[in-house]
A and B are shown apart, each in its own frame.
Chain A
Amino acid sequence: MRPGFSQNNRLIIFRVFLILTFCMLLFRYAYVQLIQQDIYYRQSERNRIRPITLVPPRGIVRDRYEEILVDNVPGYSIYIIPNELTSADSVFDSLGQLIGRSPDQLRKVYKRDRRGRFQKVKICRYIDFASLAQIEENKLDLPGIVYGIEPRRSYPAGVKAPHLFGYLGEIDEKGLQSEEFAEYERGDIIGKAGIERVYDKILQGEKGYQIVEVDAMGREIGVLDQLQSQDPVPGLELHLSIDAGLQRFLEQKMDTLRGGAAVLNCQNGEVVALVSKPGYSPDLFARPITQEAWAKLTRDPAKPLYDRMVQSGTNPGSTYKLITAIAGLQENLINPDEKVYCPGVYRLGRRLFKCWKEAGHGSVNLQQAIEQSCNVYFYRMVQKIGLENWAKYSRLFHFGEKTGIDLTQEYSGSVPDKAYFDERYGVGKWSRGLLLNLTVGQGELLVTPLQMATFALLIANRGEGFRPHVNRLIKNPETGEVTLFEPQPLCVNGIREAVWDKVHQGMYDVVNGVHGTAKRANPRRMGMKVAGKTGTAQNPHGDDHAWFIGFAPFDNPKVAFCFFVENGGGGGAVAAPIAGSMLRYLLREKKIKPN
């Protein structure tokens, strides 16, 4: 020991150290407990009381006669409590085996959604009851695995209209950030397509909250303050304008076909039936879809996933001749009584354009040309009218724009005009032959079958149409309060009555005339009169597409419709008979009066 640095000095150093250490601790505690007390006190209140979200039952969907189309049934979801997950690898492996999912996928979901040690992670939604039973049996080998009940959608009516109903799913990252879903939280279930998507806010209801006391494990100890709780508001009922009976009838009728049907109520634009085939069971998407099922759906060359009626465009064939007829009459470019001789072929420059009837129709006037769907007549007439008028009238009848139906991903179709061809082929580099193709509904003209049904409705109502819609009314199941859907007019103005008369007469003859192409659309029941127009769209990839549009009863139209069969063949032979049997069904069920 050096002199001058005695044991006493060492003791002083220890004492100073001791005092400094305790001062540091006291200062820290004073800071936390006295200065930051408010912050931590609030946190401690939040810690102890936690708002629990109460998810309301999603609104059910009914048809126009209140039959339940989309309902809720209990589904079983699997959760993991991270804190209790002791042997993660073996748990994921055996769980994956039990519910038929790859363990890696489960691991990925778990990793992505894990929020905290005590917060449950939803790992799999809607497992079937058998798997649940197996999980419960093997509970001891699956530490940290629990299940919860969560309602899922079911479709009790036997209506297989997946494109119409759409499906539900967890809100995705993009949705969470969008303005529209501002009040939604991660993990919330929202409609992804169809009416579930369009009417999500109505079906969803309002979430409720309950202030509960929880422990660190997240276990609820009890409801803390009943006054601060807010009950969930159940989703509202959506009553569709769909007639489940008719829908089932048509689905069955067209089950083996590719194509679809749209039946509209002429009085307000209600969609009474909307069929797109092939489809798939809507149940497939009401639970997590297996990989095989998904692969099967996506690889199917018949493309069952997309809605042929609303989401895709195609050539309308001869049904579109009506546009040329209306344009010509309205613009006074066609004299309806003028006869055109049809030798079965039409020459334009060096090109030959055939009529569908090789023997030719002989001399036909407008009415006859519609009745027999004579191409040569329209080839001649459309040249008098010109591309610009043709495009103008196409637009006037709302082709090339969405009908505005309350469904998702509607296609607008495409109406080519001069500017379009100039851009596509170069100014002056395209021939007038393109116009000849357009008049018979071929070429660059694309329409959706729903547009064709709307077109039929516009003709039936002499221009006083409506936008098609599936929402009939929204009903509050608790109060019984009803909000009727307000039909949106969709009109064609300024067409003279005489023009409508001529077109109606032509369409009447299509079904009732001696040479009519759609005689099989006539129900031959109770004297009901039908008018329509067939179409047979040529298709470079295969057989022709069959079309039939029309309305009934002729004198006082109640329904307008469009039937479309991909690669079906002739419109008169394939599509028109479906219209006939549909009308017989409606008469038999007394859903429509014959006049």
Chain B
Amino acid sequence: MLWDREELKRPDFVLLFAFVGLLLTGLLIIYSATHGANAEIRNNFPKQAVWIVSGVLLLAFLSLLPFKFFHEAAVPFYIFSIILLVAVLVIGDGTGVKRWLVVGPLRLQPSELAKIATLLLLAKYASEGKRDFKQIKNISVAFFLVLLPTLLIIKQPDLGTALVFMAMILPVLFWAGLSLFIVFLLIAPLITLASAFNFYSFFTTIILIVSVMVASGRGAKIIIPNFLLNIGVGIVTPMLWNQLHGYQKSRILTFIGLEQDPRGLGYQVLQSKVAIGSGGLWGKGWLQGTQTHLRFLPEQHTDFIFSVLGEEFGFIGVCFVLGLFFILLWRALNIAQTSKNKFSSLIVIGACTIIAFHVCVNTGMTVGIMPVTGLPLPFLSYGGSSLLTNIVLIGLIINAGRRRFQYL
């Protein structure tokens, strides 16, 4: 019950401190990244401050809601977000790339909403009764729940966000009881996919996968269909490759290092690496980054905010922020572990995955070990939609922590 305070524990203050620390660092860097620019970009700093204040209010409100509310809201919320995702494809704003839905003065990104809705529904589905994830049916349903929004988002097209959805499914199902062997079977096609462009690597991969399956002592009933599945993936992948948009292809190629174009896409990464690398151990100091100040960095207050941090605060600053993220995620895992409520526990794992995936891909991207997918850095990047989503995720984690002894 909303007012039933007896059952509530104190929130995890260490996690909260890490969270607040990230928000404040973000503001600090956004100020630096925007202060020399034109009025429109300079305006982003106060705007972000407003977003943060409203986000914190939202967080306070969310932590008051009982988890039962999320449990019951999951299905309608999911349906609502799917409708929005379809709507954005039909009436979305943007030329070529349709990601925004304009409602009055607001520009909504339905994919952000869908992240939370999908996580809620997936957690609800996986936590219901004694769901057995040895059954293909159950795994398939779970996958379908995630794939539906994923495909709609790929259509926008927004490859990065779509990958976030795919990333959350395995950890959540694994936490819900999926066996390691099935996780292996599910990952195997991905490895096959990566190896499918060269016959010899493809051949070797198939041999390895079959060996693991045989070694596990499973019967032919499992081995043969999986063998065929991997063969199929290997054949279809090159065909699908040709269907990709040119920019998607070149992003992937730049990522694997097969394409180098310092003036095109690689330009962003190169400039970002120059900014970060030139920061050194201590950085050039706040507001002193030459790359930042001279606007060599692309999208420096959004996707490439971490390069500004790297340049101005150096390796120390990078360690500080990554440390805060680590503490946040570590404490969240504690909450998932101690929670007696399977639904909330799964939500925490999902939220952790989403945040961790963003952090990993975004910070990896700025130093050139991850593709430029357009994923923002949680809590630091400028942008209302993404900030609110991440705050909701934190709200869910904190809420789960406060009610970790509650059964539904």
Contacts and interface: CB of A to CB of B under 8 A. Distances in A.
A37 B295 CA distance: 20
A8 B280 CA distance: 40
B310 A33 contact: yes
B335 to A, nearest CB: 11
B278 A15 contact: no
A214 B293 CA distance: 11
B296 interface: yes
A40 B333 contact: no
Interface centre among A26, A33, A39, A221 (most CB of B within 10 A): A33
Given A29-B315, A30-B315, A11 B278 contact: no
B315 A40 contact: no
Contacts of A11: 333, 336-337
A221 B290 CA distance: 13
B271 interface: yes
B356 A215 contact: no
Interface stretch (A17-25, A382-390, A553-561): A17-25
Interface in B248-297: 263-264, 267, 271, 273-281, 290-291, 294-297
Interface string B91-103: 0000000000000
A117 B270 CA distance: 14
A7 B337 contact: yes
B360 A14 contact: no
B326 A40 contact: no
Nearest to A114: B263
Interface in B210-236: none
A14 B349 contact: yes
B318 A33 contact: yes
B367 A29 contact: yes
A11 B175 CA distance: 8
A41 B275 CA distance: 8
A32 B352 CA distance: 27
B174 interface: yes
B322 A41 contact: no
A43 interface: yes
Contacts of B277: 32-33, 36-37, 39-41, 43-44
Interface string B290-316: 110011111000000000001100110
Contacts of A24: 369
B interface, over-half SS: helix
B263 A14 contact: no
B383 interface: no
B399 interface: no
A10 interface: yes
A213 interface: yes
Contact of A43 (B267, B278, B356): B278
Contacts of A213: 294
B369 A18 contact: no
A20 B313 CA distance: 24
Contact of B294 (A5, A116, A216): A216
Contact of A47 (B271, B356, B363): B271
B263 A10 contact: no
A423 to B, nearest CB: 58
Contacts of A1: 177
Interface in A41-59: 41, 43-45, 47-48
A44 B291 contact: yes
Contacts of A45: 290
A509 to B, nearest CB: 76
Nearest to B171: A14
Contacts of B204: none
A214 B177 CA distance: 57
A40 B319 contact: no
A139 interface: no
A18 B263 contact: no
A22 B326 contact: yes
A2 B267 CA distance: 50
B356 A18 contact: yes
A556 to B, nearest CB: 69
B330 interface: yes
Interface string B314-333: 11001100100110011001
A34 interface: yes
A537 B144 CA distance: 96
B364 A28 contact: yes
B179 interface: yes
A116 B360 contact: no
A588 interface: no
Counting chain B residues whose Cβ lies within 8 A of the other chain, the interface size class is 35 or more
Contacts of A15: 330, 333
Nearest to B300: A216
A525 interface: no
Interface in B322-381: 322, 325-326, 329-330, 333, 336-337, 349, 352, 356, 360, 363-364, 367, 369
A115 interface: yes
Contacts of B278: 37, 40-41, 43-44
Contacts of B276: 29, 32-33, 40
Contacts of B314: 33
A117 B295 contact: no
A29 B175 CA distance: 31
A21 B330 CA distance: 13
A162 to B, nearest CB: 40
Contacts of B281: 33-34, 37
A64 to B, nearest CB: 51
A336 to B, nearest CB: 80
Contacts of B273: 32, 40
A37 B275 contact: no
Interface in B38-77: none
Nearest to A11: B337
B280 A47 contact: no
Interface string A90-120: 0000000000000000000000000111000
Given A15-B333, A29-B318, A33-B276, A215 B295 contact: yes
Contacts of B294: 47-48, 213-216, 221
A3 to B, nearest CB: 12
A216 B291 CA distance: 9
Nearest to B183: A13
Contact of A33 (B315, B325, B337, B369): B315
B190 to A, nearest CB: 16
Contact of B360 (A2, A25, A115): A25
B344 to A, nearest CB: 14
A18 B280 contact: no
A29 B349 CA distance: 27
A41 B349 CA distance: 40
B338 to A, nearest CB: 10
Contacts of B356: 18, 21
Contacts of B367: 28-29, 32
Contacts of A25: 322, 360, 363-364
Interface centre among A5, A14, A28, A39 (most CB of B within 10 A): A14
A18 B315 contact: no
Given A37-B280, A117-B263, A43 B333 contact: no
B360 A21 contact: yes
Nearest to A43: B274
Interface string A116-135: 11000000000000000000
A18 B177 contact: no
A184 to B, nearest CB: 23
Given A24-B369, A28-B367, 4 more contacts: A33-B314, A33-B318, A44-B291, A116-B267
16 contacts: A14-B333, A14-B352, A22-B325, A25-B363, A26-B319, A29-B310, A29-B322, A33-B276, A33-B277, A33-B281, A33-B310, A37-B277, A40-B276, A45-B290, A116-B263, A221-B294
The 9 A-B pairs with the shortest beta carbon distances in the complex, nearest first, are A40-B277, A116-B263, A44-B278, A33-B315, A41-B278, A37-B280, A216-B296, A40-B278, A43-B274
Interface of B: 171, 174-175, 177, 179-180, 263-264, 267, 271, 273-281, 290-291, 294-298, 310-311, 314-315, 318-319, 322, 325-326, 329-330, 333, 336-337, 349, 352, 356, 360, 363-364, 367, 369
